[in-house]
Amino acid sequence: MTKSATIGPIAAVTLATRDLEAAENAYSQYLGYRLARRGRISDEQARAWNRPGAGGSRYVSMHPEASPDFEFRFVESPVPRGYRAFSGFGWQAAELIVRDVDAMATELAGSPFEILGPPQNLSFTDAIRAMQVRGPSGEILYLTQFKRELPALPSPPARCTVDRAFIVIVGGASLDDLLRFYTTTFAVPPPQRMESRVKAMSEVFGLSPEHRYQIAALPLQGSCYIEADQMPPAARAPITSMVQLPPGIAIVSFRCSERRQSGCVTGAAGEIVELIVT
């Protein structure tokens, strides 16, 4: 199913944060992530993102304990006070593979990661158990355990306690527009649409936790996915500043095999998509 997509797997998730040290300490102490490198964003890199104001900003890159093929990249940035994921269009959340989600819930109690709900089996299968947390930069993380393999939903194995991101979530005004962008730009096979609860989004807009949204999971290479969510009419348009990075999850980087694809493009919801040739 995923062979025709020209991007994948997910290589990195970049977060804008007010407190670089707090983010680094939280991911190191509680998620077991290790330092890959630190430095400052070059002006060339900032221009490639079309966010020149990010040039010179301090950053830290971290990878899972046993898998350096994925990174979280934290960039020091003036994130607006009161920022909440799922309040406006763009990248919303990242879903990570973990070995034991119930053990993670115990470890994260009282940590900088706010637990938004206890671990639960998914409604359509008891083979997947997951929980949601809000990180120190306002980011939403889904921590997901596969108890057994599911042929209908291939996923990377958990190679350490908290491994790589295998799903990223983007939200926009129109599910049709989101799907059209990825299917036409990157030859991603058209996915099946469904209705699903998205509790973190319902909380932002004061809707019932049982409210259902139109969503679809776009299959990429490497058993990775982009979940596209249609947001309520009250959701804000994408941040139009072309100076600083968007708050929260600012950029998602994907590996690609075609050199002509390398660089950055802007998606249908204003999300920044970075393409890295492998």
Residue 51 has pLDDT above 70, yes or no: yes
Work out the percent of the chain whose per-residue pLDDT is above 70: 97
**Residue with token string 């390398």:** 262
pLDDT digits (tens, 9 = 90+) for 119-155: 998 777 788 999 999 999 999 999 999 998 877 788 9
pLDDT tens across 225-261, in order?
999 999 999 998 765 566 899 999 999 999 998 877 7
Strand order in the sheet with 193-197: 114-122, 125-134, 140-146, 90-98, 162-172, 225-230, 212-219, 193-197
- Residue 159 pLDDT > 90, yes or no? yes
| Per-residue pLDDT at 1 exceeds 60 | no
Query: In 3-state terms, what secondary structure has residue 266?
Result: strand
**Can you give the pLDDT at residue 149?**
83
What are the structural domains, with CATH classification, of the chain?
Answer: 7-277 (3.10.180.10)
The model carries a pTM of 0.94
pLDDT at 3 over 70: no
Q: Give residue 130's identity as a one-letter amino acid code.
A: A
